[in-house]
A and B are shown apart, each in its own frame.
Chain A
Amino acid sequence: MRPITVVVVSTNALIRSGIQQVVTKSDIPIEVAAVCATFREAHEFLAKQRAHVVIIDDSHPRSTNLAQEVKKLRGRQANLAVLMIAQRPTATLLRLLREHGVHGMLHKDDDLERGLLSAIPMIADGGLSVSPRISRLLDGQRTLPDELQQRDIDVLQLTADGFQAKEISSHLGLASKTIYRTLQMLREAYHANSNAQLIDIAHQKKLLDLEDEDDQA
């Protein structure tokens, strides 16, 4: 049986080493063909050699447009399967990644050792593998206040996490104007004079704790 060849992309050396260790010690024939700290290294490798699966740990700089990077990687090899370990998962980003052909998605808080070993063979074989946590986010199984859409919450969350509008735009694959407009609409809805006040109000109204509450439920 031919081994599944895997390329690992993560800026964190410990995560790279961890993924390598987990997949090579498994009973499944998986071969780590390359371990890359940047997307550039992954592109360079895939320009020369083929692989079945790319595992992306989303620990890249905030301005990284993940969807574009996935598109470029898959542009090199049409049947390349992509497995994403989402560090800052938002429903908007996850839907975008799914549209760009990401076959496997794991949440940073999943049991990643087990998750990786079950997802890699499945997506290498052309299937899909999405962890329950990610499914919950994708399906939007959470109760939002009437005036808010899921995208508004995602923009609020990323703003509270220190992302600037342009970084949110890259991260979510949306136009900068859309982000500015969303923030303006939210400021008007909550009578906030600034984005800083908006975030304070969002904390008071517990708009940013929805994911945690869902996790506890």
Chain B
Amino acid sequence: MITQILIGDGSSLAVVGAETLLKQRADTVLTSAENGDDLLRLAGVSQPDVILLGDRFDPLFETIALVERLIQAAPAGRIIVMGNTTDGLIIRDLFTMGMCGYLALGDDLSTCLLTAVDTVLREHPYLSPTANAEYLIAMQSASRDWKLDAEARAVLRLLARGCTVREIAAQMRLKRRRVYWVTEKMRSRFGATTNEHLISRAAAEGFMRLPE
């Protein structure tokens, strides 16, 4: 039985690399997409068995939104995301939406990729070693049910206005520890490594210009 795999990745070299590895599978047909629109079109037309999606494949599409639309376009396709994000909460969100596998780019994908494809084809989820460890840590943490609520958005706005944690705590009548905690959760939510990165990511996603 033929397995159809559709590849979407921003790096042409990574696409060639993935194709080279996947050609080792018998009866496998590979197709690659140029951009997000092309990926959605090809997914709809060819109804692939597996979709291999590079994180930030197309700057015009957010990965989570692209996964959502891919599921609509090809409901039977098993989606494997490859990315730098090793935040367990993001991986959890992607699984909740219907992603079947996640490969952390820092892992040795030359050994993981074929296993990932075979595993998702058997209808089992697959996580590469680093992604698996991060996912387990996130699931055990108290923040697993955290959402970007009004409190978090207020902290975000004050951070962007140059307030310190002490000032934010005073203005919002919160403990400083709470402000640190909310900031950390937001960094996780936006996949940011620093507060500056958080502001940049939030601005890119349109969160900074929200009405108060």
Q: Which residues of A contact B (CB under 8 A)?
A: 11-22, 37, 57, 59, 85, 108, 111-113, 159-164, 192-200, 203, 208
Contacts and interface: CB of A to CB of B under 8 A. Distances in A.
The CB with the most chain A CB atoms within 10 A, among B10, B21, B161, B199, is that of: B199
A14 B18 contact: yes
Contacts of A208: 200
Interface in B159-208: 159-164, 192-200, 203-204, 208
Contacts of A20: 17, 20
25 contacts: A11-B105, A12-B17, A13-B107, A14-B14, A14-B17, A14-B21, A15-B17, A18-B11, A18-B13, A18-B18, A22-B13, A108-B11, A159-B194, A160-B197, A162-B192, A162-B193, A162-B197, A164-B194, A194-B163, A195-B195, A196-B160, A196-B198, A199-B196, A200-B161, A200-B208
Contacts of B161: 193, 197, 200
A11 B106 CA distance: 7
Interface of B: 9-21, 82, 105-110, 113, 159-164, 192-200, 203-204, 208
Contacts of A11: 105-106
Nearest to A62: B193
B108 A13 contact: yes
Contacts of B18: 14, 17-18
A163 B197 CA distance: 8
A111 B9 CA distance: 13
Chain B residues touching A, majority SS = helix
B196 A193 contact: no
Given A113-B12, A164-B194, A194-B164, A199 B17 contact: no
Nearest to B167: A193
Contact of A18 (B10, B16, B108): B16
Interface centre among A19, A22, A197, by most chain B C-beta atoms within 10 angstroms, is A197
Contacts of A19: 13, 17
